[in-house]
Structure formats: structure tokens, C-alpha cells
A and B are shown apart, each in its own frame.
Chain A
Amino acid sequence: MKRSHEPIFWSLFGAGGVLSALVAPILIFITGIIAPIGLWMPPQALEYSRVLGFAQHWFGKLLVLAVISLFLFHAAHRIYHGLHDIGVHAGTGTMAASYGGALLGSLAAAFLLLKIGF
């Protein structure tokens, strides 16, 4: 019997689900709402030198990669299976677009994190 690749995608989906349930609301609130409007978050908090230092630290890199990659794989799994609900049937094309997109995004994040230095 051909082995299923579902466990891999299910694990990434689960990991992304837990991580997004824990940190996605506060991250969206900080980077997308309170920092841009300057409420409860001073502009210095996300200034260039500080965020650069975070992205250059190995632990910062790990967190950034985990957030971007796992959010993408979690969403890819939901979108891949959810397309069926709106009448687009699951196939190689939708699979390549969803999981392939998540993989490309993850590789891009990893590449950028290496490029930014240590």
C-alpha cells in the first residue's frame, strides 16, 4: 500500500494551529493595529535596529521562521480542504498551490533569515 503523506501535513497543520491559537491574535494586534496607530505601543518598540537585532539572534530567527512557516502550513491545509466546500475539487493543482505556496513562503523566510546575518 502506498504510504499516505497526510501525517506530515496534519502535523504541520496541528503545530500551526497551536502556535496561531497562542500568538496570532496578539501579534496581529501589535504589528497591525496598535503599533501603526501608535496606541499603547511606542514607535521605538518596532524600530529598525531593534527588530534587526531580534532577527539576527538565533532564537529570534527560530521564532520568526516558526510563525511564518507554521501559519502558512496551517492555512494551506485549511484552504486545501476548504476549497472543496466552495465547489473547487481537491486535486494535484490545488495541492501544489496550497502546500507548494506554504513551502515556498517557508523557504523564502529561511533564506531571508540567513541573508540578514547573525
Chain B
Amino acid sequence: MATVKTYVRPMQGWWRRNPYFVRYMIREGSSVFLATYAIILLVGLLRLTQGEAAWDSWRAALTSPWSILFHWLALLTVSYHAWTWWKVAPKTAPDLRVGGRPLPEMLITAGGVLATLATSVLVYVIVRWM
């Protein structure tokens, strides 16, 4: 049987052709940083079960310049992800109505961003002072 030679449009680097898709890939790519961070925490938990010396060496490892660089990149991409998450929340959240009218999209997004800021302050205060 002869092979059918259909033209297949090359898709290499498709997302670099349009800024919208570049933002899409950054958002999706942030999940790689998030997963890596979760694994770093999991390793920290393992070291915690192994005693004080192991825990301290995990903390020491986090002071390496590569670790700091990774965490800065993770912070940037994951923060961007958080922003996109609240940005689409008006479309993904259940239908919220006040007095029969749908809540303005801006309010839902603003509410999400405020929730992130409030939680961040709370976590900081707890970790630092409580």
C-alpha cells in the first residue's frame, strides 16, 4: 500500500509567533516551577523526619545561588499564574448574583487578588511572629 503523503503544517515554535500564546505558555510553564517547588518541600519534609542535622542541611542547601535563582523564577511565574487564575475566575467560578444581577467581573478578580494579598500577609505574620 502506498503511503499517503499529506502535507503536515510544521508546528515547531508555534507559540512564539503570537504574544498571546507566549503568555499562555508562561502560564502553563509556571506549573513546572510549582511542581518543582512542591518536590523541594517534600524533600524538606523527608529531611525533617531525619532529625535536626538533616533539616539544617536542607536549609543550608536552599541558600545556594542556584536555589535562590530558581525561587525567584518560581516566584515570578507562579505569581503571574495567580494573577491569570483570578483573571479568569469570573468565567470559571459558579454564577454569582447579587440582587438578581451577575457580579461585575472586575469585582471577582479584585476579590481574588485581595484574598491572595490578605493570605500572604497572614502567612508572613504567622511564620515570623507566632
Residues in A lying within 8 Å of B, measured CB to CB? 14, 17-18, 20-33, 35-37, 40-42, 45-46, 48, 51-52, 55, 64, 67-68, 71-72, 74-76, 78-79, 82, 85, 87, 105, 108-109, 112-113, 115-116
Contacts and interface: CB of A to CB of B under 8 A. Distances in A.
Given A36-B67, A75-B34, A55 B48 contact: yes
Contacts of B29: 82
23 contacts: A21-B112, A22-B116, A25-B79, A25-B116, A26-B124, A29-B75, A31-B62, A32-B68, A33-B68, A33-B71, A35-B59, A37-B63, A48-B55, A48-B56, A68-B42, A71-B34, A71-B38, A75-B32, A75-B34, A82-B28, A82-B31, A87-B12, A112-B48
Contacts of A76: 35
B18 to A, nearest CB: 13
A105 B38 contact: yes
B28 to A, nearest CB: 4
A8 B50 CA distance: 34
Contacts of A25: 75, 78-79, 82, 116, 120
B41 A31 contact: yes
Nearest to B64: A36
B22 interface: no
Nearest to A41: B128
Contacts of B92: 14
B124 A24 contact: no
A30 B127 contact: yes
Nearest to A64: B45
Closest 7 CB pairs of A and B: A32-B71, A75-B35, A78-B31, A26-B120, A71-B38, A75-B31, A21-B82
Nearest to B51: A48
A79 to B, nearest CB: 6
